[in-house]
A and B are shown apart, each in its own frame.
Chain A
């Protein structure tokens, strides 16, 4: 396992290492943690946010009756991209209604991958809506489970009402190269969007 630049004390002194982040979203059980695990250089870790300042409205919303703390977890992994750049991948909490509780969860992210289980398309509706609402650039990745029917990508694009300019790819979250290809598709999409933005200035 090569953590490129992280395991060489004294070489850079960490002086020039920068980070970027990508969010892995999608409904509950769509394979977010599986994807993070298969493509990460490290064993995925979990970080938590404890919501200590939950007011009455928040308590109602998340169904916590008393005034105790609530914890939202993020599974994450990292990929050394070069000696000076590391990519962090964060799997979002399965229930999108908790996303807003984590302040700035999507802020500063390059973009997001929204995972879809083709057997349960509806489970990712919320995630797609949320990306559009928060203006996070994203690609849609159909996680092909062993018993998934073979849906044509365009049929699923229609069913999920995904605009033509947003890539929809299919992949296997358990496979490292396949998961890597989804990230490549995301960054290519970001590059195309950016090129358009540069030209139109």
Chain B
């Protein structure tokens, strides 16, 4: 668990700039992405000029969280979110947000909690 630090690698900033085309935040479709959101590829041509777009599609044939993608690709969350928004807009990936225990207006999801509990008890 490290405290904030300044990047030791200034060229990283240039890489991010190129990757995102200078965009600083994700567009509408990716604005709600969470670190635990699962990303799954869908078939189709790969959009976006960046190798990283292809890499995301390849890695997400099986569902992978945004956090894992970030760790594997060495990209910070906000940069990854920009790339994911390209892929979401193009329909090349699907994003599935983590299931909350409590949905506003619907009350608590007891079945979900039971499922989590029995999964933990089997460990």
Contacts and interface: CB of A to CB of B under 8 A. Distances in A.
B71 A197 contact: no
A105 to B, nearest CB: 8
Interface string B41-56: 0000000000000000
B116 A14 contact: no
Given A6-B63, A9-B62, A93 B1 contact: yes
A9, A20, A177, A197 interface centre (most CB from chain B within 10 Å) = A20
A51, A69, A92, A183 interface centre (most CB from chain B within 10 Å) = A69
Nearest to B61: A9
B117 A33 contact: no
A145 interface: no
A122 interface: no
A52 B9 CA distance: 15
Chain A interface helix/strand/loop/mixed:
mixed
B4 A98 contact: yes
A194 B113 contact: yes
B117 A47 contact: no
Interface in A19-35: 19-21, 28, 32-33
Contact of A62 (B4, B63, B68, B107): B4
Interface residues of A, number: 72
Given A46-B71, A187-B113, A70 B4 contact: yes
Given A28-B1, A74-B35, A180 B120 contact: yes
A198 interface: yes
Interface string A41-78: 00001111111110000000010100011111111101
Chain B interface helix/strand/loop/mixed:
mixed
Contacts of B71: 45-47
Contact of A73 (B1, B99, B109): B1
B1 A194 contact: no
A82 B35 contact: no
A16 to B, nearest CB: 10
A108 B97 CA distance: 8
Contacts of A194: 101-102, 107-110, 113
B110 A191 contact: yes
Interface of A: 6-7, 9, 14, 17-21, 28, 32-33, 39, 45-53, 62, 64, 68-76, 78-82, 85-88, 90-95, 98, 101, 104, 107-111, 137, 176-177, 180, 183-184, 187-188, 190-191, 193-195, 197-198, 201
